[in-house]
Structure 1
Amino acid sequence: MSTYQFLSLATKPCAQLGYSFHPAVGSVKPALVVFVNGLGLPQTSLQALPPAAGLPAMLTYDRYGQGQTTDRDPGDISAEDPMHGHDTLTLGVSDLSRLPLILVSNSIGGALVRLYAQEYPGTVAGLLFLDSVLANSDFVSIYPDPEAAGFDPTSLPEGVTVDAIHAARAFMQRVFHPSNGSREGLGRKNLMQLLPHSDGPKLQGPDGRGPWVTVVGHELEAFKVEFEQMGGASPSLIEVYMNPYWHRFNEGLAKLTEQDRSKGPLQAPGAGHFVHRDNPELVFNELHEVLDKVL
């Protein structure tokens, strides 16, 4: 069971962040593994990944307004729309030039770690993406627009109807479109402009080369079930549009570094979007593999 503590950043002393820190276990080289969670599950979802022998220091935390962190980002107080009080580029950094940093991310965390690595080149030695958010998509456009000029309903694949596409696009607009804010105040309106391509810009690690990158995606069948249960779309639409789109995005992430330092994209057996919750053993194994390369 993790013990959560609180700290205040020097740049925002009036608010506290909830975090859990696990010192290195056993005799290992100095490094820090940081887990960056998504909007849907806070740091408590990472309890299935306990410290074990041979692991360096590990840190989990909740962003402002999320999970154990009940304080809001102080900058949101004066925001016109608190649901979009700050964006994904609101970053802070310490001097980590002498400490290998490995970032493990899920969902929106995938965008955050990419932006961090871009803004502070040479600080990130390894990246483990767990079903990263589709940063360069408005989510609605994953499905064709039946109202677009030239749309031909007779060209739709078997099992896909115009009504089903309308329903799927409406759901995406209502739930996942970047215009929707979040309870933690993290806005995504400019995310497509910040990260317009999944395969670039290329990232730089501490040794002048690219970081070690492993990309893990959801299992296609498990995600179909999960997303249909959310009311997102029928299995046929997920199979024809959503899963292939996400896989192409993950293929791009695998190109953020040099080919010999890249692995994936993999499918996590039995896992939907929250890979670390559904298949912690795979995450643990892939993390160990990244650590073996970095250290």
Structure 2
Amino acid sequence: MTSRRSARPGRAPAPTGVLEAVAEALAEGVPGGVRPGELDRDGRALRWLEAGPGPGVKPGPGEGVPVVVLIAGMGTSALTWAPLLPELARPGRVVAYDRAGLGASEPDQAPVLTLDGQVADLTALLRHLDAGPAVLVGHSWGGQLAQLLARERPELVAGLVLVDPAHEDFRPRAISAVESLLLRAGLLRVGLLRVGLVRAGLLRAAPAPAAPVAGDALARAEAAVLAHPHQRRAVLAENRLTNRATGQLRRRRAAGPPLRVPVTVLSATTGLPRGLRARFTAVQAGITAGTDQGVHLLVPGAGHAVHADRPEVVAAAVREVSGRVRTARRP
């Protein structure tokens, strides 16, 4: 099965320049570069970029490495993984996808963005990749989506690396209110590499976007993502979803089974006042409760975007979880 499908007649192409610009930025330092993928989701395109062996290359029983799927935080595109991909230079496939309306993926036309819709898109992507159970690497909101999928579709998930994952029991009203206000005012650099740092502190202003210059692939990609009109609407929709899904997430966690796969939770140590950071870290540590395969680690000097501040730590966690998965698969 190939990882790219032809567009239906009449479908809009990928947002002008976005996919190409992000691909250029993600390819820097990645052996073999990256390649695009596309999946039809009832008439809209879900798109991604991937590195490593092409589709159809499957490990034999007890050998090889699982495919790794990167799930970005609230409002962020595949571009957020630019610091991590070179660290994940490895023999297995690595896939960074854009949720509906973000980056190069087309917007969901449903009246309201839903939790089930986002989980369904991720489920469809994993089934389409046809590479066996995957290791999911989820940052912030992406970490919550990864946990939901691991509980609801365990056959698709081999392991989890949760990068300062969001949690329904940590939604301070002051942070949510300021975050929503800044998003509506357009004052946050939505969907970009540094958004996690701004979200974590909210007392720091986001740096002004750098003007794209020749040879600056990251700046060009950031500019391309920001320039597309669907981006800001999608970020606002995700922000509303994360705020209203708290009760639903709490009920699903309580009713769902414990995680049955290797799990590593990485907690940031900077970016929030000490008391809030301690509360956030405590609920993150609780994610591994009830499983004998859970590891919780603090990452010194890292803000909310741990994969930007300490990509080598995240890459090491991915390799360690993948190693545990390979060991478990051996006859």
Q: Per the shorter chain, which TM-score range?
A: 0.5 to 0.7
Structural mapping, 1:114-133, within 5 Å = 114-133=147-166
Question: Which residue type is aligned with residue 80 of structure 2?
Answer: S
Cα distance in 2 for residues equivalent to 1:55 and 1:197: 39
Residue 188 of structure 1 aligns to a residue in which SS? helix
Structure with greater proportional helix content: 2
Partner of 1:88: 115
User: Using the alignment, how far apart are the partners of 1:198 and 1:248 within structure 2?
Assistant: 20
Secondary structure of residue in 2 paired with 1:132: coil
TM-score, length-normalised on structure 1? 0.68
Aligned counterparts of 2:91 and 2:294: Cα–Cα separation in 1: 21
What is aligned with 2:218?
none
| 2: CA distance, partners of 1:4 / 1:203 | 35
Question: In structure 1, what is the equivalent of residue 48 of structure 2?
Answer: 19
Q: Say whether residues 1:217 and 2:267 are aligned partners.
A: yes
Matched, 1:174 2:178: yes
What are the Cα deviations for residues 259-286 of structure 1, in whole angstroms up to 9, with x where unaligned? 2x1111x122221011111110001111
C-alpha change, 1:270 and 1:138, in structure 2 (3 Å) is closer
Single out whichever of 110-119 and 87-96 deviates more from structure 2.
Answer: 87-96
Structure 2 distance, partners of 1:107, 1:285, is 18
Shift of 1:67: 2.1
SS at match of 2:286: helix
Name 2:250's counterpart in structure 1: 196
1:29 matched to 2:61: no
Which of these residues, 45, 59, 72, is aligned with residue 95 of structure 2? Answer: 59
Kindly state the Cα deviation for residue 100 of structure 1 after the two structures are TM-superposed. Answer: 2.5
Paired with 1:274 and 1:98, the residues of 2 have a C-alpha distance of: 28
% identity of equivalent residues: 23
Structure 2, unpaired ranges of 5+: 1-25, 28-33, 185-231, 327-331
SS for the counterpart of 1:104 is strand
Provide the aligned length of Structure 1 versus Structure 2. Answer: 228
> Counterparts of 1:55 and 1:121 in 2: how far apart (Å)?
24
Question: Contact conserved, 2:258 with 2:291, CA < 8 A, in 1?
Answer: no
SS in 2 for 1:59: strand
2:3 counterpart residue number: none
- Structure 1: gaps spanning 5 or more residues: 80-84, 141-168, 205-209, 225-237
SS across alignment from 2:280:
helix
Structure 1 6/216 Cα, relative in aligned 2: closer, same or farther at 3 Å? Answer: same
* Change over 3 Å in CA distance of 1:192–1:199 after alignment to 2: same
Answer whether contact 2:170 2:280 (CA < 8 A) is retained: no
Q: Distance in 2 between matches of 1:214 and 1:37?
A: 17
Per chain length, whose mean CA-contact separation is higher, i.e. which structure has more relative contact order (CA < 8 Å, sep 6+)?
Answer: 2
Displacement of 1:108 after TM fit? 0.6
Distance 1:72 1:272, change over 3 A: same
Letter in 1 for 2:233: R
Does residue 291 of structure 2 align to residue 258 of structure 1?
yes
Displacement of 1:39:
1.8
- C-alpha separation in 2, matches of 1:73 and 1:113: 20
Distance (Å, rounded) in 1 between the aligned partners of 2:265 and 2:251: 15
CA distance in 2, matches of 1:68, 1:98: 23
Q: Deviations over 1:127-151 (max 9, x none)?
A: 00001112234421xxxxxxxxxxx
- Aligned 8 A contact 2:71 2:139 in 1: yes
1:101-141 Cα shifts (integer Å, max 9, x gaps): 1100001101111121222133211000001112234421x
SS in 1 for 2:82: helix
Among 112, 115, 119, the residue aligned to 2:145: 112
> What is the alpha-carbon distance in structure 2 between the residues aligned to residue 125 and residue 17 of structure 1?
23
Q: How far off is 1:213 after superposition?
A: 0.4
The answer (yes or no) to whether the contact 1:199–1:252 under 8 Å persists in 2 is: no
- 1:198 Cα deviation after fit: 10
Q: Which residue of 2 aligns with 1:38?
A: 73
Q: Deviations over 1:204-250 (max 9, x none)?
A: 5xxxxx1000000101xx323xxxxxxxxxxxxx212x112101111
Query: What is the deviation of 1:176?
Result: 5.5
Alignment deviations for residues 62-92 of structure 1 (CA, whole Å, 9 cap, x no partner): 11221233x21122xxx2xxxxx21222132
1:4 CA drift (Å) = 5.8
**Is the 1:102–1:125 contact (alpha carbons within 8 Å) kept by the matching residues of 2?**
yes
Q: Does 2:104 match 1:68?
A: yes
Moved over 6 A (4+): none
- Equivalent position to 1:283, from 286, 289, 314: 314
Q: Residues of 1 paired with 2:75 and 2:298: CA distance? A: 20
Which of 293, 297, 303 is the matching residue for 1:272? 303
